[in-house]
Structure 1
Amino acid sequence: MRINLASIHVDDQEKALRFYTETLGFVTKNDIPMGEHRWLTVVSPEDPDGVELVLEPSDHPAVGPYKQALVADGIPFTSFAVADVHEEHERLKGLGVTFTQEPTAMGPVTTAVLDDTCGNLIQLASM
């Protein structure tokens, strides 16, 4: 058994696709029209056949309050591994990304938290 998909709820699929590809550096794996929305997935360019991140529309009534509560409490929805949090933080800040937590050492792990512009906080982590 292995994980092949993980989802993140986004308020605008097109805006999310731009952020996750042009800013974070993921690549589009699937972009299939599905009526009002799309089956839209991105992957790491380092592992194009690895886990796909589904950019899922935030249409379900439970999603909005859930996302708002997480953001209000400063809780990241998910975490992405990076080689060096400090380097990635500087690169992304240079692209205009807003961070809610600057790089912080937590024992053997360093983390930072960014706003994905689509209603989510995302943690970056490196060992």
Structure 2
Amino acid sequence: MKIHMAGVFVDDQAEALRFYTEVLGFQKKHDVPVGEDRWITVVSPADPDGTELLLEPSGHPAVKPFREALVADGIPYTSFAVEDVHAEFARLQGLGVRFTQEPVEMGPVTVAVFDDTCGNLIQIAHTA
């Protein structure tokens, strides 16, 4: 068994696709109209056949209070692995990404947390 797909809820799929591809550097894998919404997935360019991230519409009534509670408590919705948190922090900050937590070393793991502009806090992490 392996993880094929994971998702994040997004307020605006077009804006999310732009942010996740143009800013974060993921590649669009699928973009299929589904009624008023779209089935949009992105993948890492380093692993185009790997795990897909679904940019899921946030229209369900349970999503808003769930995400608001996570953001209010500073809890990331998900985590992405990077080679070097400090380097990725600098790159993303240079692109205007707002971080809610600068890089912090916690034993063998270094993490930072940013706002994805789509309603989520996302953690980046690397292990020494």
Superposition TM-score tier, normalisation by shorter sequence: over 0.9
Q: Could you state the TM-score of these two structures normalised by the residue count of structure 1?
A: 0.99
Q: Tell me which amino acid in the other structure corresponds to 2:23.
A: T
Measured against aligned partners, the alpha-carbon deviations of 1:52-104 in whole angstroms (never above 9, x if no partner) come to: 00000000000000000000000000000000000000000000000000000
Q: Which runs of 4+ in 1 moved over 3 A?
A: none
Q: Tell me which amino acid in the other structure corresponds to 2:18.
A: R
Q: Tell me which amino acid in the other structure corresponds to 1:65.
A: P
**Secondary structure at 1:64's aligned position in 2?**
helix
- Is 2:74 the counterpart of 1:90? no
**Secondary structure at 2:64's aligned position in 1?**
helix
Give, in whole Å, the separation in 2 of the partners of 1:84 and 1:55: 25
**Secondary structure at 2:19's aligned position in 1?**
helix
* Alignment match, 2:67: 67
Shift of 1:35: 1.1
Identity fraction in percent: 70
In the alignment of these two chains, the number of paired residues is: 127
Give, in whole Å, the separation in 2 of the partners of 1:59 and 1:7: 14
* Alignment match, 1:56: 56
Measured against aligned partners, the alpha-carbon deviations of 1:7-61 in whole angstroms (never above 9, x if no partner) come to: 1000000000000000000000000011100000000000000000000000000
* Alignment match, 1:27: 27
Give, in whole Å, the separation in 2 of the partners of 1:58 and 1:100: 22
- After superposition, the CA RMSD in angstroms is 0.3
Give, in whole Å, the separation in 2 of the partners of 1:60 and 1:71: 18
Q: Any unmatched runs of 5+ in structure 1?
A: none
**Secondary structure at 1:32's aligned position in 2?**
strand
Give, in whole Å, the separation in 1 of the partners of 2:59 and 2:5: 19
Q: Tell me which amino acid in the other structure corresponds to 2:81.
A: A
Give, in whole Å, the separation in 2 of the partners of 1:23 and 1:104: 22
Shift of 1:121: 0.1
Give, in whole Å, the separation in 2 of the partners of 1:17 and 1:95: 16
**Secondary structure at 1:60's aligned position in 2?**
coil
